[in-house]
Homo-oligomer: A and B are copies of this chain.
Amino acid sequence: MSESTQPEPKNQIWKLTLAYDGTEFRGWQVQPGEVTVQGALQAALGRVTGETPLPQGSGRTDTGVHALAQVASFALRASIPSGNLQRALNRTLPASIRVLSAETMPGTFHARHSTISKTYEYRILLGKSGRGKICSPFLARYVYSCPWPLDFQALESSARCFLGEHDFLSFAATEPDLSKRNTEEEDDLQLPCKEGVQLAVRTIYSSTWGHRLIEDGDLLVYQIRGNGFLHRMVRNLVGTMVEVGRGRLKPEDVSAIFAARSRSAAGPTAPARGLFLHSVEYE
């Protein structure tokens, strides 16, 4: 959030922290003919600086997935005070993308490669339209309105099963379409193009459920921090925990799902609209 009026030295690496409402974007990554966050940011940089570096994100987010603090990095030749760059980008970008901070970094910084861990958040509104709580139209883009009652203790028990180092292959999207594999990976990992146990191994540092009371309802909020996430992994973990929460699976079933190393062993994919990239941690 530092706001300097001094011009920055030339050929600087920039780090932007971004919030975005993913509803109307075809995900983070530039794709021909599609409106994407990366594409909108590149276009805004072009209009503001005359340079069009492709901003590298900490990871790709899918269509409809939101970010509270995505990180992007790129190099600029022009000298621009950081406060000016932030303001000019916010004037140029649509209101659905905001630059929360802009700062210059050492030349070795890369939004994806320098990441230590990332935190995702998933928001569920309990009770569905007509049967109990009605999902407010002002919340509908930002939560999964779950039609079933969920046992909070069962959710918590299953969330604990994901802690530590595991092979998460059962929770990775299976993409039969090779072109999709390349464009929709959450991480830079080319999975499952290269096979082998190691590729799907990730370490989860925290995995917790909580309640949050907001204006339009009482949310169940899941937060997970890990050293990396496979494509759709968080949504598949949440979809599986919802199965546990509604009693169709038991927390003890999670170890068998890990062992199966098959997407079909886990629960369904929870909707994109409930998922937020919460934060990205660097050294």
Q: Report A's interface with B, CB cutoff 8 A.
A: 19-21, 66, 83, 86-87, 90-91, 95-100, 129-131, 134-138, 140-142, 214-215
Contacts and interface: CB of A to CB of B under 8 A. Distances in A.
17 contacts: A19-B136, A19-B138, A20-B137, A21-B140, A83-B130, A87-B129, A87-B130, A90-B129, A91-B129, A91-B130, A95-B135, A95-B140, A95-B141, A96-B140, A98-B136, A138-B142, A214-B215
A235 B21 CA distance: 26
Contacts of A83: 130
A172 to B, nearest CB: 28
A250 to B, nearest CB: 31
Contacts of A66: 137-138
Contacts of A141: 95
Most buried by B among A99, A130, A140: A130
A100 B142 contact: no
Given A90-B130, A129-B91, A130-B86, A137 B98 contact: yes
A135 B19 CA distance: 10
Contacts of A129: 87, 90-91, 98
Contacts of A130: 83, 86-87, 90-91
A266 to B, nearest CB: 27
Contacts of A20: 137
Contacts of A96: 137, 140
A155 B98 CA distance: 29
A86 B128 CA distance: 12
Nearest to A141: B95
Contact of A100 (B91, B134, B140): B134
A58 B194 CA distance: 61
Among the interface residues A83, A91, A129, which one has the most CB atoms of the partner chain B within 10 A? A129
A140 B142 CA distance: 13
Given A87-B130, A138-B142, 12 more contacts: A19-B136, A21-B138, A21-B140, A66-B137, A66-B138, A83-B130, A86-B130, A90-B129, A97-B137, A98-B129, A100-B134, A214-B215
